[in-house]
Chains A and B, each alone.
Chain A
Amino acid sequence: MQKRFVYADNAATSPLSKEAFDAMKPWLTEKWGNPSSIYSAARDARKAVEMARADIADSIGAKPEEIYFTSGGTEADNWAIKSSAKAFGKKGRHLITSAIEHHAVSSSMESLTSEGFEITVLPVDKYGMVSPADLEKAIRPDTIFISIMLANNEIGTIQPIEELAEIAKKHNIPFHTDAVQAVGHIPVNVDELKVDMLSMSSHKFGGPQGVGALYIRKGVRIPPLMHGGGHERGRRSGTENVAGVCGMAAALKHAVEIMPEANAHLKHISDRLFDKLLQIPYTQATGHPEKRLPGTVSVVFNYIEGESIILLLDSKGISASSGSACTSGSLDPSHVLLAIGLPHEVAHGSVRLSLGKDITEEDADYIAESLTEVVDRLRTMSPLWKG
């Protein structure tokens, strides 16, 4: 087995696409200009930002004036949640979210509890699915906001957002979805999803890091999080990241164009990889068997610990991640793995491989062979393994 480099952590961040780089390059070299200034160099920058906005809007079925650029997914989530609480807090103090959200959502929610807001956290089933019936039951007269993610970053499960948002709509409650892992990976249309707000992040689909957007449906009014010079029509101040938004738009346009082909390929490779990994004894797949991101292969190996697996994979040239406590910097494994009902000791042995479109069968086979070897080696030295 010859050593090769396989990057399998695209859910953490993805390599910059050529399309994104080409769109950014002029704005990092021969062109510059503050889009708010009035001379011609600045007008070019303004034009570039507005074209990027229109392209991004188009990719998700939104209108350009419903797209607000941010510094990334984290800011978009913080803004949607904290500003909705502020905007609708007079009507009620109750918010609803799910047990498997990214920390950008769950910690934003938590921050509101000190301001007298009450948060209901909906459970998920063993596949990581939120039940629409649970949402219906959790809604109270004082519920003012709901945030449930579209696709999960650890296990890849895709939620029935249309159904969940429909329930919210029936009760006249604004609905936000963190679509950071979904945009550019599966078809996303804000009207079909019936969401009022949607977060996205450029570096998850081949764009640069540090840029993202919040979609806010026309007619939904939330105050700014960032105050200042009144950029983004007064809703998000700060000089636009011209190169960043151009890269983001080009990356998304490209990702959407190649999506059908890329996803067919990713599904094929993921199936192959799952097949091989599940032959390792005491191994189970996590996430939904069908309703999942096509490039996410998430598994747990019993009797061993995730950080050790990741370090040994790294020494074989493979970049992957784990939801074990050791990799989260705390002593508890990932809240997502606990929410799907895994015992702590099993959740510690998790591995997430998030594949990119250029992955080959040979790469997948190399990952499977390497993991088989690594798991065996760690089990041999584990006091829990009686194999």
Chain B
Amino acid sequence: MMYSDKVLDHFQNPRNVGEIEDANAVGLVGNAKCGDIMQMFMKIEDDKIVDVKFKTFGCGAAVATSSMATELVLGKTIDEALQLTNRAVMEALDGLPPVKVHCSVLAEQAIRAAISDYYKRQGIDPEPIVGKIEEVDHDHEIACD
């Protein structure tokens, strides 16, 4: 299995790692059992993502896709961030090995989960805007696919 230089660079020097203390949007996706968890923190002001940070438990691709996803949404409006697809994350990383494609899906979901949380905090139902987000389930046996 081969990672592109971009993936290795984002893995070894991840951008925007950490937490945001006064984040107003936090999303958590993935499952420790399956080996990937991503947590996204955002500061959203006037519809714009003015700060974003992440924490990831997972393989090289999981870290690299999280890192790239934060770069791609930083400074963007919510609408623009919701346009972000896993494909775009992969392309920005010069591709991923086939077995790692799910990491880019997780990165896309992490962004959506954070934005979903942002709406929830304001009492707005996020589902019509963001779509359905898989909740992290710590208590039940789940199947990794």
Closest Cβ of chain B to A122, distance in Å, is 24
Max chain B C-beta neighbours (<10 A), residue from A304, A312, A381, A385: A381
* Residue from A329, A331, A383 within 8 A of B34 (CB atoms): A331
Query: What per-residue 1/0 map shows which CB atoms of B26-40 lie under 8 Å from chain A?
Result: 001000111111110
Q: Which residue of B lies closest to A343 (CB)?
A: B33
Q: Which residue of B lies closest to A328 (CB)?
A: B99
* Residue from A308, A329, A381 within 8 A of B55 (CB atoms): A381
Q: Which residue of B lies closest to A331 (CB)?
A: B144
Q: How many angstroms from the CA of A21 to the CA of B30 in the assembled complex?
A: 49
Q: How many angstroms from the CA of A228 to the CA of B88 in the assembled complex?
A: 53
Given A381-B14, A381-B55, answer yes or no on A311-B8 (Cβ-Cβ < 8 Å). Answer: yes
Q: Is the CB of B59 within 8 A of A384?
A: no
Q: Cβ of A14 < 8 Å from any Cβ of B?
A: no
Given A344-B33, A381-B55, answer yes or no on A305-B62 (Cβ-Cβ < 8 Å). Answer: yes
Q: Cβ of B11 < 8 Å from any Cβ of A?
A: yes
Q: Is the CB of A329 within 8 A of B8?
A: no
Q: Cβ of A325 < 8 Å from any Cβ of B?
A: yes
Cβ contacts under 8 Å, A360 to chain B: none
Q: How many angstroms from the CA of A380 to the CA of B17 in the assembled complex?
A: 9
Cβ contacts under 8 Å, A345 to chain B: 32-33, 35
* Residue from B58, B100, B145 within 8 A of A305 (CB atoms): B58
Closest Cβ of chain B to A232, distance in Å, is 36
Q: Is the CB of B60 within 8 A of A307?
A: yes
Cβ contacts under 8 Å, A348 to chain B: 32, 35
Cβ contacts under 8 Å, A307 to chain B: 59-60
Q: Cβ of B114 < 8 Å from any Cβ of A?
A: no
Q: Cβ of B86 < 8 Å from any Cβ of A?
A: no
Cβ contacts under 8 Å, A305 to chain B: 35-36, 57-59, 62
* Residue from A312, A326, A343 within 8 A of B58 (CB atoms): A326
Q: Is the CB of B32 within 8 A of A381?
A: no
Q: Which residue of A lies closest to B33 (CB)?
A: A344
Given A331-B144, A381-B55, answer yes or no on A325-B34 (Cβ-Cβ < 8 Å). Answer: yes
Q: Cβ of B1 < 8 Å from any Cβ of A?
A: yes
Q: Cβ of A332 < 8 Å from any Cβ of B?
A: yes
Cβ contacts under 8 Å, B59 to chain A: 305, 307-308, 324, 326-327
Q: From residue 8 to 52 of chain B, which have CB atoms closer than 8 A to chain A?
A: 8, 11-12, 14, 17-18, 28, 32-39
Cβ contacts under 8 Å, B62 to chain A: 305, 308
Interface residues of A, CB < 8 Å — how many? 27
Query: What per-residue 1/0 map shows which CB atoms of B117-144 lie under 8 Å from chain A?
Result: 0000000000000000000000000001
Q: Is the CB of B56 within 8 A of A381?
A: yes
Interface of A is mostly: loop
* Residue from B18, B38, B60 within 8 A of A308 (CB atoms): B60
Q: Is the CB of B12 within 8 A of A326?
A: no
Cβ contacts under 8 Å, B89 to chain A: none
Q: Which residue of B lies closest to A327 (CB)?
A: B59
Closest Cβ of chain B to A100, distance in Å, is 20
Q: Cβ of A366 < 8 Å from any Cβ of B?
A: no
Q: Cβ of A36 < 8 Å from any Cβ of B?
A: no
Q: Cβ of B63 < 8 Å from any Cβ of A?
A: yes
Q: How many angstroms from the CA of A325 to the CA of B57 in the assembled complex?
A: 13
Cβ contacts under 8 Å, B100 to chain A: 326
Q: How many angstroms from the CA of A261 to the CA of B11 in the assembled complex?
A: 41
* Residue from A315, A324, A344, A385 within 8 A of B12 (CB atoms): A315
Closest Cβ of chain A to B19, distance in Å, is 9
* A interface with B by C-beta (< 8 Å): 303-305, 307-308, 311-312, 315, 324-327, 329-333, 343-345, 348, 380-385
Known: A329-B99, A383-B57. 18 other contacts (CB 8 A): A303-B57, A308-B62, A311-B12, A325-B34, A325-B35, A326-B58, A326-B61, A327-B59, A331-B144, A343-B33, A344-B34, A381-B17, A382-B56, A383-B28, A383-B37, A384-B37, A384-B57, A385-B57
Query: Can you list 20 contacts pairing A with B, beta carbon distance less than 8 Å?
Result: A303-B57, A305-B35, A305-B59, A305-B62, A308-B60, A311-B11, A329-B1, A329-B99, A331-B144, A333-B35, A343-B33, A344-B34, A345-B35, A382-B37, A382-B55, A383-B28, A383-B37, A383-B38, A383-B56, A384-B32
